């Protein structure tokens, strides 16, 4: 076995590939080490436990699914952003079958607090992005947001609808786009 040190990015890429090919149960220190062609100790240089590896893998998958597109115009228009997000949800379903339900249900135990924290950080990043789009969208009525109904609260609502759609495996943004049109424009 090659004991050459690999990079954290290579380990996570290999972990994502294992998930795609064999499912989440295939990701553990030994299988990832074997797939990387390195010793188990090399994996432990980057991740101190299977839970840490799994948490980082979940975060890596979220980042791959929702990476920023090259077309920055997506983040200037709320409707374009929501359409893009739902398209990425469909991409995530195809690339990582069962991912959206696995990690949301799988990170509830004590030893998985790092994975849960990483998932929540990624979710907050998406909510912050939605909020930014809402605030930059030139089509939003000037009086659309008020002190009790802020862009932050609406972004949180949109994200909640997204999570619900993920669990239902419904990747059609039509209803959410109608809510946006009736509420903001």
What is the pTM assigned to this prediction?
Answer: 0.83
Q: What is the mean pLDDT of residues 57-65?
A: 90
Residue 1: pLDDT above 50?
no
**Phi (first) and psi of residue 40, to 5 degrees:** -60, -40
Q: Are 75 and 38 in contact (CB under 8 A)?
A: no
Q: What is the pLDDT of residues 103-148, one digit of tens each?
A: 555 544 445 566 677 778 888 989 999 999 999 999 999 999 999 9
- Please give the share of the chain, as a percent, with pLDDT higher than 70: 90
Which domains can be identified in the chain, with CATH numbers?
8-48 (1.10.10.60), 61-184 (no CATH)
Q: How far apart are CA 27 and CA 29, in angstroms?
A: 7
Q: What is the pLDDT of residues 157-171, one digit of tens each?
A: 999 999 999 888 899
Give the three-state DSSP class for 65: helix
Beta carbons within 8 Å of 156's beta carbon, 6+ residues apart: 127
Q: What is the DSSP string of 105-158?
A: HHT-SGGGHHHHHHHHHHHHHHHHHHHHHHHH-TTS-TTS--SSS-HHHHHHHH
At residue 28, the pLDDT reads: 95
Q: How far apart are CA 90 and CA 96, in angstroms?
A: 10
Cite the DSSP H helix spans in the chain.
8-22, 29-36, 40-44, 50-65, 78-95, 99-106, 113-136, 151-168, 174-184
At residue 30, the pLDDT reads: 96
At residue 177, the pLDDT reads: 97
Q: pLDDT grade, residue 4 (50/70/90)?
A: low
At residue 101, the pLDDT reads: 72
At residue 130, the pLDDT reads: 95
Q: What is the mean pLDDT of residues 34-53?
A: 94
Residue 25: pLDDT above 90?
no
Q: pLDDT grade, residue 3 (50/70/90)?
A: very low
């Amino acid at each position: 076995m090659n004991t050459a040190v690999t990079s954290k990015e290579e380990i996570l890429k290999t972990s994502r590939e294992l998930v795609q090919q064999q499912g989440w149960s295939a990701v553990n220190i030994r299988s990832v080490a074997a797939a990387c062609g390195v010793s188990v100790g090399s994996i432990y240089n980057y991740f101190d436990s299977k839970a840490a590896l799994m948490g980082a893998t979940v975060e890596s998958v979220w980042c791959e699914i929702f990476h920023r597109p090259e077309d920055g115009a997506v983040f200037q228009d709320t409707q374009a952003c929501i359409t893009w997000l739902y398209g990425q949800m469909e991409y995530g379903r195809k690339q990582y079958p069962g991912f959206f339900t696995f990690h949301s249900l799988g990170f509830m135990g004590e030893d998985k607090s790092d994975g849960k924290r990483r998932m929540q950080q990624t979710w907050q990043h998406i909510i912050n992005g939605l909020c930014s789009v809402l605030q930059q969208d030139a089509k939003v009525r000037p009086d659309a947001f008020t002190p009790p109904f802020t862009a932050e609260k609406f972004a949180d609502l949109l994200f909640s609808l997204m999570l619900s759609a993920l669990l239902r495996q419904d990747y059609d943004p039509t209803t959410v786009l109608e809510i946006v049109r009736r509420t903001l424009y």
